[in-house]
Amino acid sequence: MHPAKSIMAFTSLSGLGFGLMAVIGLGYPDVAGWVAIVYGALALGLAGIGLLASLLHLGNPQRFLKAFTQWRTSWLSREAVLSVLTMALFALYIVLLLTDKRLILLGYIVSTLAALTVVCTAMIYAQLRTIPRWNTWLTPILFLAYALAGGALLAGQIWASVFGTVVVLALQIAHWARGRAALARSGSNAGTATALGGLGTVRMLESPHTARNYVTSEMVNHLAATTAKKLKLVVIVLLVGQGLALATLPIGHVMAGGMVVLHLAAVLVARWLFFAESEHVVRLYYKD
């Protein structure tokens, strides 16, 4: 699958925004008044920009309201409903903090809904059995870990962010390790793709067509193994560097900003790999 810039921006920025909402809802940092407004604006801004970016990936963006109607069966629709509900309740929570009123129960509700929103985003991909690399419980857990680690960092919770970064690194490596043979373990091959496997070994003599179309543009992507390894090393270096810097260096505003940049860079590279390495089973119809 070819990574779309809009989806990368959506999953990365909205994850940071909802992660920050989750942390603030738990009472960290303990702020009130206009300081709470600043944190609230940052969280809502990141989530809002991410959600607006997702509209660019819709076939008919003007019909985005239809995304809210299928919540019984669609993870995308559930995410749309939860994101709006979470942002509305979070805005109310921040307004109350402006008046020095903290409703602890409302904060916990916001945190829970923010976490569920991120899980719904991940489940859009994790539910797809046609992409075995994504079809694992590790996918929603990894998305949530990235969101909470980033949210803790934006909230100034240094040691929570260090712990979150360690968890993210472990989960990311586990996700990569599991994904290497996911397509092979799924049992999908040219025989199952064509339903001719019962006749013997099936091999593709030529591609179904020579011109590019939506399927080849969106679903068929060939990433060189050496490129993937280099990018994975970049993610590891960024996460390790961020964790070590947070744990050992004095963190002021400038340093904190730098750590946020490192975190976001790691998320973007990891998310690009997430899509680029997806290995949709439709690839089995096309020659490598």
pLDDT of residue 218: 66
Q: What is the model's pLDDT at position 207? A: 67
Nearest to 75 by CA among 25, 135, 24: 135
What's the pTM?
0.90
Torsion of CA 209, 275, 80, 166, to 10 degrees: 170
Q: How far apart are CA 3 and CA 191, in angstroms?
A: 28
Consecutive sets of 10 residues in the chain, 288 residues long: mean pLDDT of each?
76 94 94 91 94 72 69 88 96 92 93 97 92 94 97 94 96 94 76 73 70 67 85 96 92 88 95 88 67
Q: Is the peptide bond before 29 cis (omega within 30 degrees of 0)?
A: yes
Helix, strand, or coil here: 220?
coil
**Looking at domain 5-285, which of 1.20.1630.10, 1.10.240.10, 2.30.42.10, 3.40.50.1820 is its CATH number?**
1.20.1630.10
Query: 235 in the Ramachandran plot: left (φ > 0), alpha (ψ -120 to 50) or beta?
Result: alpha
d(CA 283, CA 31): 51
**What is the pLDDT, as a whole number, of residue 68?**
75
In 167-256, the DSSP E strands lie at none
Residues 168 and 239: beta-carbon distance below 8 Å: yes
CB 24 within 8 A of CB 39: yes
Domain range summary for the chain, segments of one domain joined by +: 5-285
DSSP H helices in 134-200 = 138-154, 158-179, 182-185, 190-194
Q: Give the pLDDT score at 22.
A: 97
